[in-house]
Amino acid sequence: MQKIDIRWLWHKYKRAIISSAMCLLAVVLVAVISATSLNSSNVSKQEEVQTSSPTSITFVSPVKDGTLIKDYSNKTLKYNATLKQWEAHKAVDIKGPDGASVVAVADGEVLSVESNYLTGTVITIKHNDKLQTVYASLGEKVDVKMGDKVKSGQKIGVISTTAKNESSDGPHLHFEVLLDGVKVDPNLYLENSNK
Ligand SMILES: [Zn+2]
């Protein structure tokens, strides 16, 4: 009796049961899809926060009419033709016309003017408590000294090949941005950046 009842019920309400099951499946699918997309949008938001510039400073280009010849890379290795090795390049290399001027990218104070074999003549400028910029591979004769106050766009030196670790790239500026002492992507701060 029981069996017959179930069969009869199934026969009679087959369509209703199947369509309810389909509806339930659809609801579950929609819920899963929306949960997944919500999750991924959260992830991309987090990435945006991590890669967006933490201060509102925008830099002028350190080399007028310069060309980017080696971009910043944190994890991806870039080939160093001079040292013949692959390495992270936590800076941007900018080439310009011969003897092109290098300028301060923002107002600040010259923290140091140093020279060493690998990175050549290097000027470091402090812009605020968190942010510093580093200009390496400059010509030996520079236009500023330690303690000087500089204005955005003020000439500090010229591009050169003094950085022996990148000399085969020709005269260029090796430009780094330090945020709380950590090298970050300069493209986050440079105006007209495509990133
Ligand atoms: Zn470089």
Give the model confidence (pLDDT) of 21-42 as tens digits.
786 888 877 777 666 555 544 4
Give the model confidence (pLDDT) of 128-183 as tens digits.
999 999 999 999 999 999 999 999 999 999 999 999 889 889 999 999 999 999 99
Residue-range definition of the domain harbouring residue 78: 67-188
Centre of ligand 1 to C-alpha 82, Å, is 11
For the chain, give the number of residues: 195
Centre of ligand 1 to C-alpha 169, Å, is 9
Residue 14 lies in a domain: yes
Which residues lie closer than 8 Å to 159 by C-beta, 6 or more apart?
A: 63, 94, 95, 96, 99, 100, 102, 137, 138, 139, 171, 172, 173
Centre of ligand 1 to C-alpha 93, Å, is 5
Say whether both 88 and 47 belong to one domain: no
Say whether both 109 and 172 belong to one domain: yes
Centre of ligand 1 to C-alpha 70, Å, is 7
Number of independent structural domains in the chain? 2
Say whether both 31 and 97 belong to one domain: no
Say whether both 5 and 93 belong to one domain: no
Q: For the chain, what percentages of helix, strand and coil (3-state, to nearest 5) are there?
A: 30, 35, 35
Alpha-helix runs per DSSP H in the chain: 2-51
Residue 47 lies in a domain: yes
